[in-house]
Chain A
Amino acid sequence: MPEDREVPDSPPPFLGSWRRVYAGVILYLAAVIFAAYLFARAYR
């Protein structure tokens, strides 16, 4: 079987750390759902 090896885990090209990128994606998801909710409400 293949063995584990050291693979460099480099930081993202923006926001400084992967945690911040993930937090940004969650905020984005909340905004998208809220926008879709307002859209559906406005045209129901």
Chain B
Amino acid sequence: MRALDWVVLLASLVSIIAYGLYRSRGSNTVDRYLLAGKTMPWYAMALSIMATQASAITFISTTGQSYVDGMRFVQAYFGLPLAMIVVCATVVPVFYRARVYTAYEYLENRFDAKTRALASIIFLCQRGLSAGLTIYAPAIVLSVILGWPERATTLLMGATVVTYTVIGGIKAVTWSDVQQMCVIFLGLWIALITVIVMLPHAVSFGDAVYLAGAAGRLNAVTTGFDWNDRFNIWSGLIGSTFLFLSYFGCDQSQVQRYLTGRSIAESRLSLLFNAVAKIPMQFFVLFIGAMVFVFYVFVEPPVLFQHTELARIAVASEYRGVENQYHEAFAQRRDAALALAEAHRSGDGAGHAQRLADFRRAQQALDGARAGAARLVEAQGGEKGFNDTNYIFLSFVTRYLPAGIVGLVIAVIMAATMSASSGEINSLATVTVVDIYRRHFRRGASDHHYVTASRWATLFWGAYAVVFAGWGKKLGSLIVAVNVVGSLFYGSLLGCFVVAFAFRRVGGTAVFLGMLAGEAAIFWAFLWGGISYLWYNVIGCVVVVGVALALTWMAPGVFARSGAEDRGGEKS
């Protein structure tokens, strides 16, 4: 990083944090600290919801995902608009009318205390793990840029996030998110334009898009069905609908954001904005990754993007052979790409097929050489299943982007993480205090006491997230890891809320046992089922609903709600 980069980085971060803290003045009651006093406008909630999802992982990992696997990951978002409609029509008005701080508070109203406690604990486990991953992503950035160990950078990021969150509360988080998203959009456009400008003069934008497609990097929609295939249109439309229903309907980190709205209409608008904007945004980010791939067709990329592992294997005697194979494959791919682009431009149908085959063969050879280097990492005592997807975009940014732009992109990544992570930690603290501490340990204390407890809970969850972040590099692509972790728990939560909203006769014990069965089914699918993670949400939800209904049908005297409860709606 050059001096100008540091200036841009520090100025961006300080201004975003300062603005967020400035807007959070007066957050001295539980209602203001956790729900911003229900004063937020729809556009602030909309951008905050988007910023929570678009953390640093969006920049770092999604672009890398597109580089190695193409754009088919975008299908994982096809279910999001459908989920948003269901949440707007059903969940939002129910939560508003119940006047709850958390989604799980509603479950006690509808079922009983143990169901609320179980749902809260499931959320705390799941979101606590995800918060660790959110911190780990920018820690990679600092590690690459500064050459520090990832453990040190994780600690640095975690300490900054926790300090900011403890002081600010949700109002600071939301308003800083608004600024973050503006900077993120700016950074995305600058990154894309820079990649295209840096392509060789002989390669037009049209050529670049064509070459990305020829290499299979523009496979945005795949229609074949396969249980084991993570991303296709079916898992996207069905599986991800359940995932996002769970995320936006049952995950406090999102629920808390739209509960800060002035009205039901404002909360709905914030969610529907995301329903419309999220797929194009993911498409755009993935497209940047595809263009980075084309850039590296003409400029030789490193054998591995993680320089510390590359340095480790560079001393091995076998590395020379891998390196030579890589150089040779790169030269062949570059020449084949130029010939293919020329054939495409000239409309040479006969030569085109041959050149396309040459290009794809050269790509396979290059992939083979990279795989050989990855095996060498393992052979030299490196991590098992080595994966450098998360380093690809950062490596490109730091090597090739001009002064100032590097600082801006790094600022975007770090600021987005701080915001997303602070939102997660804030919601974890909210559930800990409202659903656990205030409900089971200390009822009827003063408002000041609960605000203080919230700050201590924030500190605890920040520390927890930092510790878990140490596992981040064992989980492969971070963007996928976040969704996998979420899917291990979301299905059961979703099933619980589906029963709550749709099956009035089912009582608390039936749904409680259903949730335990749902979690067992999900972990079976994860450990032994060989099924793609998007389907875990479907499995968990169906098992919870099925078990709860079956128990109620088999033993209504034990598991069904009483007639009075049924007629009166929720318990008071």
| B355: min CB distance to chain A, Å | 16
| Chain B interface, DSSP helix/strand/loop, else mixed | helix
Choose one: B74, B108, B570; the contact of A4 (CB below 8 Å).
B570
A39 nearest CB neighbor, chain B only: B220
Residues of B within 8 A of A44 (CB): 213, 216, 218-219
B287 nearest CB neighbor, chain A only: A39
Taking CB atoms and an 8 Å cut-off, the chain B residues in 64-118 that contact chain A are 71, 74, 78, 81-82, 84-85, 88-89, 93, 96-100, 105, 108-109
Complex CA gap A39/B572 in Å reads 54
B272: interface (CB < 8 Å) = yes
Contact B572 A1 (CB under 8 A): yes
Contact A1 B109 (CB under 8 A): yes
Contact B81 A12 (CB under 8 A): no
B275: interface (CB < 8 Å) = yes
| A7: min CB distance to chain B, Å | 5
**A5-43 near B? 1/0 per residue, CB < 8 Å:** 111111111000010011001101100110011011011
Choose one: A3, A12, A32, A40; the contact of B269 (CB below 8 Å).
A12
**Contact A25/B218 with A2-B98, A8-B263, A12-B269 known, Cβ cut-off 8 Å:** no
Interface contacts (Cβ under 8 Å), in number, total: 94
B382: interface (CB < 8 Å) = no
B78 nearest CB neighbor, chain A only: A33
B209: interface (CB < 8 Å) = yes
Contact A2 B99 (CB under 8 A): yes
**Contact A25/B272 with A1-B108, A44-B216 known, Cβ cut-off 8 Å:** yes
B570 nearest CB neighbor, chain A only: A4
What 20 new A-B contacts, CB under 8 Å, besides A1-B572, A32-B280, A36-B220?
Answer: A1-B109, A7-B96, A8-B263, A9-B264, A10-B263, A11-B265, A12-B265, A12-B269, A22-B85, A25-B84, A25-B275, A28-B276, A36-B74, A40-B218, A40-B221, A43-B209, A43-B218, A44-B213, A44-B216, A44-B219
Interface residues of A (CB under 8 A from B): 1-13, 18, 21-22, 25-26, 28-29, 32-33, 36-37, 39-40, 42-44
Listed from nearest, the 8 A-B pairs whose CB atoms lie closest are: A43-B213, A2-B99, A37-B221, A36-B220, A40-B220, A43-B218, A29-B81, A22-B85
